[in-house]
């Protein structure tokens, strides 16, 4: 079920009314409703893959209970290995089996050996990368004795399948979400109102910015050889806005929806395109995934507290694995490697934690130095996104080569005036709201309600006027 669909527009109010008016005084009933609503939400796409979510839930709940009953190191390692094997086994089978098979066949063909193996043509279950990492973090935390195991199967099932963030994050930690499922929730009007504002802004990001950018991106990336350098550059910039508007828009809708039900989800984006270096960018982009890799891979490898060559190794491992997590294609690995190359100089000279505060905090405008740093960082990210979007590494290289031409100084060959106006408006609102949890959290709150609600109606009109036609979110494929 898509957030930007009529189905969800009916589904959400029905669940909301049942949650607060029928089960308001019954905590277990509320949790059970969350589970049923989540399974309905996911099963709307393909009910057959509900078995995978249930299997992950059952395995990790059982492993958690088992870890609480033994102190024997071998037994605990065995239980953890079972959880990792089941979760990563399912993820690997459905997401990567074709990739490995194709590369295995290609490797043999280089030596003149033709193998007639064919992939199974499996459908990739939506959100499997997200809920797999979510439930894995629970087992690892219990194994490390950083978290008490859940003994309430309904609450644990709600944690794994929580419908607002089930298919594209944020990747929630059990430390944050599970305790909220164990306490009585009360309806908070201010919290719900802010949730609605965040949903509205998320829909604007997705339907007005991302979907409209996507139309031009598909056109330009579909036949880059037919366009000049300036149009190719514009296509790359449009994709940078598309993926940000699409993914952060989903996160905003997810977090806002959770607030309607009394839950606080982790922040997933913190205005990353206002970053002044790539280290800051990665602290602000897909925060839940970045911190997952930091806590469960980077730090166990030694982090930055080891010899310099090991630090370099750790950085490359993190970014290459992050790239491969996004998809079974060498383009994602190349995207990860390029970001590692961006990050390394900052690490080696000790400047990777220089820009920790939001840019120009408390000010209207950035300094010229900050502006140059933001533009440079954005340009680097746009270059990397070309590999992310291209079908192959050679396509990405050809696209970049096509941008190196005197036609860079000509007017683009496509007309996107309305979209450009919307993008300028979007960047302006994000800039003035960059110190909040989301762009319109505090926008106009101190002004007359006419101004505030007028702004909301402008967003609604833009969504209905310029909005796309219920396109899927990009990260559903990951």
Catalytic annotation, residues: 326
Contacts of 93 (CB under 8 A, 6+ apart): 122
Closest to 286 (Cα-Cα) out of 43, 478, 88, 115? 478
Please state at what angle helix 229-260 crosses helix 189-203, rounded to 10 degrees: 160
Separation between Cα atoms, residue 273 and residue 384, nearest integer Å: 13
Separation between Cα atoms, residue 219 and residue 389, nearest integer Å: 12
Closest to 163 (Cα-Cα) out of 282, 18, 12? 12
Tokens standing for 41? 């939400």
Cα of 312 vs its chain's centroid, Å? 25
Largest alpha-carbon pair distance within the chain? Answer: 75
The DSSP secondary structure of 195-238, one letter per residue, reads HHHHHHHHHIIIIIIIHHHHHHHHHHHHSGGGS-HHHHHHHHHH
Separation between Cα atoms, residue 166 and residue 251, nearest integer Å: 11
Separation between Cα atoms, residue 264 and residue 137, nearest integer Å: 18
């Amino acid at each position: 079920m898509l957030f930007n669909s009529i189905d969800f527009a009916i589904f959400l109010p029905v669940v909301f009314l049942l949650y607060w008016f029928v089960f308001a005084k019954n905590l277990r009933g509320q949790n059970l409703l969350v589970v049923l609503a989540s399974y309905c939400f996911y099963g709307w796409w393909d009910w057959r893959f509900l078995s995978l979510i249930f299997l992950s839930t059952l395995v990790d709940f059982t492993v958690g209970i088992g870890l609480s009953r033994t102190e024997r190191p071998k037994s605990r390692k065995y239980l953890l290995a079972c959880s990792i094997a089941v979760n990563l086994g399912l993820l690997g089978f459905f997401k990567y089996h074709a990739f490995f098979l194709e590369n295995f066949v290609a490797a043999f063909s280089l030596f003149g050996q033709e193998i007639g193996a064919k992939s199974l043509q499996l459908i990739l279950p939506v959100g499997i990368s997200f809920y797999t990492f979510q439930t894995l973090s629970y087992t690892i935390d219990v194994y490390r004795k950083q978290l008490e195991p859940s003994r309430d199967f309904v609450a644990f099932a709600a944690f794994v399948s929580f419908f607002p963030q089930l298919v594209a994050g944020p990747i929630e930690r059990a430390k944050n979400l599970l305790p909220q499922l164990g306490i009585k929730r009360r309806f908070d009007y201010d919290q719900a109102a802010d949730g609605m504002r965040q949903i509205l802004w998320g829909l604007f990001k997705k339907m007005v910015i991302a979907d409209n950018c996507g139309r031009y991106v598909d056109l330009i990336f579909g036949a880059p050889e037919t366009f000049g350098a300036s149009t190719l550059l514009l296509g790359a910039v449009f994709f940078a806005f598309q993926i940000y508007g699409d993914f952060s828009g989903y996160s905003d809708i997810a977090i806002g929806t959770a607030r309607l039900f009394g839950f606080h989800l982790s922040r997933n984006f913190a205005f990353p395109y206002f970053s002044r270096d790539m280290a800051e960018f990665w602290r602000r982009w897909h925060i839940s995934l970045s911190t997952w890799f930091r806590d469960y891979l980077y730090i166990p490898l030694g982090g930055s507290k080891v010899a310099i060559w090991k630090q370099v190794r750790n950085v490359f491992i993190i970014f290459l694995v992050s790239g491969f997590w996004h998809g079974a294609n060498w383009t994602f690995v190349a995207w990860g490697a390029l970001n590692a190359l961006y990050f390394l100089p900052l690490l080696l000279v000790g400047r990777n934690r220089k820009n920790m505060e939001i840019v120009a905090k408390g000010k209207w405008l950035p300094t010229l130095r900050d502006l140059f740093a933001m533009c440079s960082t954005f340009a680097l990210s746009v270059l990397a996104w070309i590999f992310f979007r291209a079908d192959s590494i050679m396509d990405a290289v050809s696209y970049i080569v096509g941008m190196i031409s005197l036609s860079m100084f000509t007017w683009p060959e496509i007309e996107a005036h309305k979209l450009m106006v919307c993008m300028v408006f979007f960047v302006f609102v994000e800039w003035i709201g960059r110190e909040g949890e989301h762009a319109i959290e505090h926008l106009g709150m101190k002004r007359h309600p006419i101004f505030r609600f007028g702004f909301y109606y402008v967003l609604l009109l833009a969504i209905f006027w310029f909005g796309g036609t219920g396109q899927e979110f990009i990260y559903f494929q990951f």
